[in-house]
Amino acid sequence: MELVWRLQREAPPGRVRYHLGNHELAILLPTFVHWPRAYSTTLDTDEQRAFLTRVAEGDVTVAYEGYEYTYSHAGRNKAFEAADVNAQIQAAASELLTEGLTQPTQKRIASNYATICQLGRNGGRGADAGLCWMDFAHLEPSAPPQIVGHSKKLKPVRKGNVVCGNVIRANNATPGGEGVLIEEPGGDGLTAIRRSPDGGVLVTHDI
């Protein structure tokens, strides 16, 4: 995480975003979310508080507005405002810092901020899951325009108004496959740039 903090310090304001995802929720809600050997479950108490402070101060957010799309970890079928959910997670982190990571506090946070934290059915990927958890399969084509990650894909996938750009894990340990999405200003389209197996670059316009 130190790399992210350094990039945020060095880049112009707003250029480097750290999204809250399901693994970061393991830092906020360790009683309910836990994976052995994951980076987010190995932090000591001081590191947990340092991360919560970053969230409370707005360095780690749930969503942000692009030119035409709203970006979040997993997305949502109902319309939402990035500023609203970001304010919610700041409030949640502040409460955890004040009250401590007790089980009752975590339970209340998960309930009060369900738009973000709700795990949903199917182990955290159901249609009723929150912005950190819902599987791309449950995002409807008619949902508000969004770009998300969370669900593993070999290449960026569009479904109506929504696009999943999480190509890292599905291509892990294979030649090429890593990529980024570039949103053009003025509604001029969404471009996917991916590394090909031979080391070249694949460019897909208007994905």
Say what the pLDDT of residue 90 is: 98
**How many angstroms separate the CA atoms of 88 and 83, rounded?**
9
- Greatest alpha-carbon span in the chain: 53
Provide mean pLDDT across the span 80-85. Answer: 97
Total structural domains within the chain: 1
Provide mean pLDDT across the span 23-49. Answer: 86
For residue 177, the SS3 value is: coil
C-alpha angle 189-191-192 in degrees, rounded to nearest 5: 155
- Tally Cβ neighbours within 10 Å of residue 60: 26
pLDDT at 42 over 90: no
Question: Which long-range contacts link 114-121 to residues 24+ away (Cβ below 8 Å)?
Answer: 115/76, 115/80, 115/85, 115/88, 116/20, 116/62, 116/85, 116/88, 116/89, 116/92, 117/25, 117/28, 117/29, 117/92, 119/32, 119/33
121 or 43, which is more confident? 43
> Quick check: 163 and 157 in contact, CB under 8 A?
yes
> Quick check: 206 and 184 in contact, CB under 8 A?
no
Token pair in block for residue 4: 């992210």
**How many angstroms separate the CA atoms of 128 and 124, rounded?**
9
Chain CA centroid to CA 82, Å: 12
pLDDT at 137 over 80: yes
Provide mean pLDDT across the span 6-32. Answer: 90
Range of the domain at 64: 2-204
> Quick check: 95 and 107 in contact, CB under 8 A?
no
pLDDT at 122 over 80: no
